[in-house]
Amino acid sequence: DGSDDNEEGSAVENEETVKGTERKRATPRTRRGHARGRDRHGDEEDEDDEDGTRRTGHRRHRNRRRGRAAGNEASDSDMEPAKARKNEANQKSKEDDEEEEDEKGGKSGKGKNEKKGDKKADKKGKKEKANKKKKDKKKSGSGSDSESEEEPITEEELAKLKEEVEEKKKLIATLRNKPWKMKKKLSVLKEAQLFVEKFEGALGKGKGKKFYAYKVMMTKKWMKFQRDFENFKTACIPWEMKIKEIESHFGSSVASYFIFLRWMYGINMILFGLTFGLVMVPEALMGKPYGSLPRKTVPRAEEATAMNFATLWDFSGLAQYSVLFYGYYNNQRTIGWLKFRMPLSYFLVGVGSIGYSFMIVTRTMAKNANDDGGGDDTSFNFSWKMFTSWDYLIGNPETADNKFASITTSFKEAIVEEQESRKEENIHLTRFLRVLANFLALCTLAGSGYLIFFVVRRSQQFALEGLENYGWWERNEVNTVMSLLGMFCPTLFDVISSLENYHPRIALRWQLGRIFALFLGNLYTFIIALMDEINLKARYLLPFTLEEEKIVKYNMTIWEASLYNGTIPENSTAPPIQVDPADVPRGPCWETMVGQEFVRLTVSDMMTTYITILIGDFLRAVFVRFFNYCWCWDLEYGFPSYSEFDISGNVLGLIFNQGMIWMGSFYAPCLPAINVFRLHTSMYLQCWAVMCCNVPQERVFKASRSNNFYMAMLLFILFLSTLPAVYTIVSIPPSFDCGPFSGKTRMYEVISETLEHDFPSWFGKVFGYASNPGLILPFILLMVLSLYYLNATSKSYKEANLELKKKLQ
């Protein structure tokens, strides 16, 4: 009963506080019904207030409202006395309960208007400064109770009321999270607020609100900052929008090629930075200028054509005798006032580029493997595509177009995956066909290998007999055959792969693998040819080279002496006559030659690619588009139709091109620069060509999450490319007349020289001990063991991961 009274009391209080504002709209009765439907007590409350106005004796009871008097006074002035009294009464303590009860007895038929007036003023006051204490509430509650309440409110009732107030407060705080219409939210809010105001200190509530608003503002500011930062980071990534556009129209597999291209561009920029900053610029700024040394000057014989465009395009003439190639660099140990160690820098940059490339490729592979293993949650693939793919932030028609295309492509990819997984296979037939296809592919590879071998042998024969006797075909036989093989074999592989009936992604991998093997064969023969030439020089000319060195040097001294009109003094101390370096006879410089070959190859490769795109894609598209009107059959659907983007060809082209760069950059520091330029223009040209001339494949398929397949091939090529450079560094003596290592027996001697001169002696000793095979072999053994151990632990982690995933399911 006691708790009932309390509730009634609170209801009454509610009514009291609500009445003020809603007075205009609803009669007290209506509202009473709204609040708790306890008309009885509402009436009593009315009577109570009237008593307050009438009887000064009630002042004590109204004391509890004193706190609000100040605020109340601000409103209705004519109602003040009544209000003040009411307020005071409200603030009274529990002890006055009995007095109120006495007063209640006397209530009867009070004028409603007066009550209303009182209540309105009171409510307004309360609204402004609701500092009613709980005791007060209980007071009026117990006061409004008829005759039953004699004892003070118990602790449990207090606790229950507290709980309710907390609930209401929580409701107010989470109101915005409720899925109701605004009207409902507003009315619930009002009700809850009145309830809480009645029974809670306004001070605490007011503070809470301000703090909450502050917290919300800080959260919003933080979110905005995060968003801006993300936008900035994305804007910094070059070509992101282009690639996204291509992805929306052509699918993720085509886009993966461009992402790979962009990644390569990054690597080449770093390599360019290294070679440019640490090799080319110091030599250009601090080394001896052009024309001061024989190796730095165009020989007299070639001077006439040195500046011709044709010569420059061929990278001879002036281009050859510049910082672009190995031969220009002087073997002085330090140059300039900075005492920059040029040969050391050249050596370290060469080795460092290779080391950096290994590191970055391996790191990317590891990162991709992480992403892959991170969990491919495909349990709601289609559902998520349907309900979360549209970005509600899009406000631009072009972006919307791209998004529609992207969503369509994404659905198509997912449908292909689904269809593939549903395919029923006749195992035996499929296996047989696949074996047959592989056999055919092997035959093709063997055939192409033999053809190249045959052609190279023939060309070596021609070379021995002198190339002037043969026409254009014989001279360029090797190149042409290799290019033709490169053009037709991939198409053949494509036809063969239709036998195999693989998932498109797997079919692409097989295609890539086969073309890789083909190109590798080509590259292998090319290297053989080059190595043959070098070896030729090394093997045959090494004894001759030493002889040749002596001969050339002797010739030089004779020639010098001939400038003096005298005999040949062995130990001449006469001042050397100034001879123009252009006239000095030169020794052979195989490194520059090799560098030139690589540069020419890169440039011609670049030209071929661009012309293929322009003719193969662009002109074809123009032809199909405009001649379709006057042609017998439908050009767009039949032959030739628009071309599709050839992912495998382009990826392999990129990888092999990079292999060339890695091989050649030791001999021609300008190669990374040329490659950066090539990749930059390639990106723009190919992006344009794809969007303009190509059509998406019939069955767009999703690229695998990681690009690890491309990375694996790249790593393999990197390894192959470093072998020739390492071989030359270790086994072949550098030319005596050109380059930073001239005069040394082996290129790596520059390291020991540096250790001798630039480091304290104990360092050299330590290094000597460290490079002892007795120490190196156990170290290698240790590395192999740790590799094995790490592999074993990673396997066990993967298994544990899978187990956990299963448990989660």
Q: By the criterion CB under 8 A, which residues form the site for another protein?
A: 172, 175-179, 181-183, 185-186, 189-190, 213, 216-217, 219-220, 223, 377, 379-384, 386-397, 399-400, 404, 407-408, 411-412, 414-415, 418
| Closer to another protein by Cβ: residue 383 or 578 | 383
| Closer to another protein by Cβ: residue 191 or 532 | 191
Which H or E run includes 695? strand 694-695
Residue recorded with tokens 């900075």: 338
- Distance between CA atoms of residues 33 and 40, nearest Å: 10
For residue 45, which of 7, 84, 8, 98 has the smallest C-alpha distance? 8
| Closer to another protein by Cβ: residue 387 or 629 | 387
Question: Cβ-count burial of 17 within 10 angstroms (0-12 exposed, 13-18 middle, 19+ buried)?
Answer: buried
Structure tokens at 191: 């009700």
DSSP string covering 720-741, please?
A: HHHHHHHHHHHHSPPPSSSSTT
Residue recorded with tokens 């005298």: 566
Could you tell me the smallest distance in angstroms from the CB atom of residue 400 to another protein?
Answer: 4
Structure tokens at 398: 């072009």
| Closer to another protein by Cβ: residue 464 or 808 | 808
Sort strands 643-644 and 694-695 into parallel, antiparallel or unpaired: parallel
| Closer to another protein by Cβ: residue 108 or 174 | 174
Question: CA angle, corner 255, sides to 227 and 713, nearest 5?
Answer: 115
- Distance between CA atoms of residues 83 and 557, nearest Å: 125
- Helix (H/G/I), strand (E/B), else coil: 208: helix
Question: By the 8 A CB rule, do 85 and 53 touch?
Answer: yes
For residue 612, which of 661, 691, 685 has the smallest C-alpha distance? 685
Contacts of 314 (CB under 8 A, 6+ apart): 600
| Closer to another protein by Cβ: residue 230 or 756 | 230
| Closer to another protein by Cβ: residue 423 or 428 | 423
Could you tell me the smallest distance in angstroms from the CB atom of residue 393 to another protein?
Answer: 6
Residue recorded with tokens 């407060």: 169
| Closer to another protein by Cβ: residue 182 or 630 | 182
| Closer to another protein by Cβ: residue 407 or 603 | 407
Task: Report which DSSP code applies to 1.
Answer: -
Could you tell me the smallest distance in angstroms from the CB atom of residue 165 to another protein?
Answer: 17
For residue 300, which of 287, 291, 310 has the smallest C-alpha distance? 291
| Closer to another protein by Cβ: residue 218 or 781 | 218
| Closer to another protein by Cβ: residue 194 or 652 | 194
- Distance between CA atoms of residues 36 and 31, nearest Å: 9
Could you tell me the smallest distance in angstroms from the CB atom of residue 49 to another protein?
Answer: 24
Structure tokens at 646: 């050839």
Could you tell me the smallest distance in angstroms from the CB atom of residue 725 to another protein?
Answer: 46
Question: By the 8 A CB rule, do 36 and 7 touch?
Answer: yes
Give the rounded distance of the alpha carbon of 257 from its chain centre: 15
- Distance between CA atoms of residues 344 and 740, nearest Å: 9
Could you tell me the smallest distance in angstroms from the CB atom of residue 629 to another protein?
Answer: 26
Q: How many Cβ atoms sit within 10 Å of the Cβ of residue 275?
A: 25
Question: By the 8 A CB rule, do 294 and 395 touch?
Answer: no
For residue 670, which of 320, 272, 324, 330 has the smallest C-alpha distance? 324
Could you tell me the smallest distance in angstroms from the CB atom of residue 387 to another protein?
Answer: 6
Could you tell me the smallest distance in angstroms from the CB atom of residue 176 to another protein?
Answer: 6
| Closer to another protein by Cβ: residue 249 or 341 | 249
| Closer to another protein by Cβ: residue 72 or 140 | 72
Question: By the 8 A CB rule, do 32 and 214 touch?
Answer: no
Could you tell me the smallest distance in angstroms from the CB atom of residue 804 to another protein?
Answer: 17
Residue 740, preceding bond cis, omega within 30 degrees?
no
* Continuous H helices in 374-426: 381-388, 397-422
Could you tell me the smallest distance in angstroms from the CB atom of residue 23 to another protein?
Answer: 15
Could you tell me the smallest distance in angstroms from the CB atom of residue 226 to another protein?
Answer: 10
Could you tell me the smallest distance in angstroms from the CB atom of residue 338 to another protein?
Answer: 53
Could you tell me the smallest distance in angstroms from the CB atom of residue 395 to another protein?
Answer: 5
